[in-house]
Structure 1
Amino acid sequence: MNDENRLDEIIARYLTGVSTPEESAFIEHWFRHNGNINKPDIELSQVDKRRMLKKMHAEMEERTQKKAPFVWYAAALLTGLLLGGWGISYLLSPAPNVYTTIHTGIGEVRHTWLPDSTEIWINANTTLRYHPDFSHHRDVLLIGEALFSVKQDEEHEFLVTTPDSVSTLVLGTRFNIGSYTTEHHTTISVLSGKVKIEKTGTQLGTLTARQSLVFRQNDQTFTRSMIADTASAMGWTNGSWVYENIDAAELARLLYNQYGITLNNKTGRSLQLKTGINFNHHQSAAEIAEIFCVLANCQYRMVDEKLFELY
């Protein structure tokens, strides 16, 4: 990965609140030394520029009592270099820009509504953050998985951004997004309506009902496909997990998010089923691991109650 792509990745992680302390320190140092995110080789979109200013504004609110002057300098730099008059008016807005956070624990699925009456189901081990002035700024940051039934509002777009800086823009629709950081890909599935998808200024396309897109972080590529069964795509909301050709990495994510169990693949080979399979929350983690191993021609052992190994 070249320096520009690495910087773009760190910025995306910083914007969505998942950067490490070292990465945050790097971004702050970069701003102090006149970092310019308007360079052609970085190519941040207007959406990302707006999110960057919001992030810095949130940092200001949080650090005012700590007297961190660099934050004010960075915000001024962003305002002057990137956003002009709009940035100044936003920066001087009296409303504090502190995102509201919803977090689900291991095995927890939550059904709730956003302030604009958008209905959401939030999957286990997921963090969702949304703008405090949601009636005017329908911006959502998602780390994990959620199913959205968006309240239509033609005057205010609804934007969901994931840690890999993939942005999904809608007016009114029903769609599912899965973007766990351990999986290194983001999946957007549209059940009804239409969404537009962007990655750091690049349009990935428009999805309509029964269409899906998978963006892979490792090679920055994406594929589109049709959804055979929309009920299966949202099955996790009632504790049914439907997979097509599940591999060991997906199994590990399922066991950790739903049962708090870490799964290590010690077989030395890539394990992937060649068929569809349906698990559910009535099964134990051991039962799920055993079924997978029967079909994948491997075995598993419980090292302890929180650690399984495939061998």
Structure 2
Amino acid sequence: MLEKEGIEELLVRYSEGETSAEDNSIVECWMDKSEENRKLVLDVQMLSFAADMSQVASQVDKEEELTKLHLKMRGKQSNRYLTIGRWMQKAAAVLLIPVLAGWALQMYIAQETQLTPQMIEVKTSPGMTASVTLPDSSVVILNSSSTLTYSSLFIGETREVDLSGEAFFSVKKDEKKRFIVNTPHGTSVAVYGTEFNVDAYKDSKEVLATLVTGKVGFSFQRNGNTKELVMNPGQKAAYDVEQETVKLSKANIDVETSWKDGRLYFYDTPFEQVLKSLSKRYGVVFVFKKESLKKNSFTGVFVNQRLERILEHFRLASGIKFRYIEDGNIRREKQVIEVY
């Protein structure tokens, strides 16, 4: 990992090809951490290349500039990019020759195309959520027990990610590069720029997509063929994995997306769906002792409350009871709660 001290020297030596294999690995890992880091290294390489191609490069006292830069780097870390930026501006002032600018631009483009995209996987533990910013600045909020896989660089005509679980997407608009969310059971959602929620766990018999703004195409499987359903804002698509059928209905956006804001919002919501939401949020499994209990429905809002408190609310409101099932002979990943 790069430390605050010595960053400027290592980046310049890296751009000039004077680093060891170990140093190269350190810089490349640092580049992969953010788009800002990557662009900074490319800018340093561009100017170094131009300097090597010119006869005036000797006019630039790099040692003096690096010494000044090193002293400034001892300040706040937030100033490090600004400091290196000032060094690059001084170098650019000397190297401002049309021919050299052309060479520098070619070098920059070559560096861009030579970068190898890396696959990134983000997982959330049961009961946890996470926010992820993608390479195109789109934002994804992952719900509990979910996995998002994407490339560190979106190259080509599409921006594709893989989702297993539930996530809320706020996609940056790009008319030329469609955004595609690949989900289990041969389903996917394709957009250009919009906000939507996808609930697609591998072990679920249903894939749900709720559109908040914009327009999306929901793709699904039917008799071995891929079909697409175009959705409008305020609609919810429910795909039955076993029957291969899709039901399009009006969505309650607050109910479908409240989880991303740390709330649980139910409005005349079927009890089975209520417990499904609780299961995702708190990492537990509910088992119905009586199927007839699924016919109940509830309305209410819960904000940062313990599971036991919520279950007690249901007990007082409906008489439905809950009990934790303990089994010393079976090692379970999730706590099982019986509903009776």
TM-score, normalised with respect to structure 2: 0.57
Give the aligned partner of residue 173 of structure 1.
194
Correspondence for 1:145: 166
Q: Larger deviation: 260-269 or 111-120? A: 260-269
Superposed CA deviations along residues 21-58 of structure 1, whole A, max 9, x for unmatched, are xxxxxxxxxxxxxxxxxxxxxxxxxxxxxxxxxxxxxx
Matches within 5 A, 1:79-228: 99-136=119-156, 137-200=158-221, 201-228=225-252
Aligned to 1:260: 283
Q: Aligned residue for 2:20?
A: none
Q: Does the alignment pair 1:300 with 2:322?
A: yes
1:95 to partner: Cα distance: 7.9
Q: What SS is found at the alignment partner of 2:162?
A: strand
Tell me the distance in 2 between the aligned counterparts of 1:202 and 1:213. 16
User: Residues 109 and 166 of structure 1: is their aligned pair in 2 closer, same or farther, counting only changes over 3 Å?
Assistant: same
TM superposition shift of 1:183: 3.2
What's the CA shift for 1:233?
3.0
Deviations 1:46-82 (A, max 9, x none): xxxxxxxxxxxxxxxxxxxxxxxxxxxxxxxxxxxxx
Q: Which has the higher contact order (CA 8 A, sep 6+)?
A: 1
Mapped to 2, the partners of 1:290 and 1:179 lie a distance apart of 29
Instruction: State percent identity of aligned pairs.
Output: 25
CA deviation after TM superposition for structure 1 residue 100, in Å:
1.6
Name the structure 2 match of 1:277: 300
Mark the CA change 1:156 to 1:255 in structure 2 (over 3 Å): closer, same or farther.
Answer: same
Question: What's the TM-score, normalizing by structure 1?
Answer: 0.62
Higher gyration radius (CA)? 2
Distance between the aligned counterparts of 2:247 and 2:275, measured in 1? 23
Q: How many matched pairs?
A: 217
Report the Cα offset of residue 295 of structure 1: 4.9
- Whether the aligned pair in 1 keeps the contact of 2:270 and 2:298 (CA below 8 Å) is no
Contact 1:252 1:264 survives alignment (8 Å): no
The aligned amino acid for 1:189 is T
Deviation at 1:259, TM superposition (A): 2.0
CA deviation digits over 1:155-176, x for unaligned, max 9?
2211112112111111111111
Give 5+ residue unaligned stretches, structure 2.
Answer: 1-112, 327-333
Unaligned runs of at least 5 residues, structure 1:
1-92
CA distance in 1: counterparts of 2:285 and 2:214, whole angstroms = 37
Distance in 2 (CA, whole Å) between partners of 1:270 and 1:196 is: 36
Deviation of the 1:191 alpha carbon: 0.9
Paired with 1:273 and 1:250, the residues of 2 have a C-alpha distance of 10
Deviation at 1:253, TM superposition (A): 3.2
CA contact (8 A) 1:158 1:171 kept: yes
Check the 8 A contact 1:215/1:221 in 2, yes or no: yes
* Residues 98 and 115 (structure 1), Cα distance of their counterparts in 2 relative to 1, 3 Å cut: closer
1:286 aligned onto 2:308: yes
Query: Are residues 261 and 222 of structure 1, via their aligned partners in 2, closer, same or farther at CA, if it must alter by over 3 Å?
Result: same
1:252–1:232: structure 2 CA closer, same or farther, 3 Å change rule? Answer: closer
Of the three residues 235, 256, 272, the one matched with 1:233 is: 256
Instruction: Quote how far apart the aligned CAs of 1:291 are.
Output: 3.1
| 8 Å CA contact 2:254, 2:265 repeated in 1 | no
Give the conservation status (yes or no) of the 8 Å contact 1:160–1:168. yes
Deviation at 1:227, TM superposition (A): 2.6
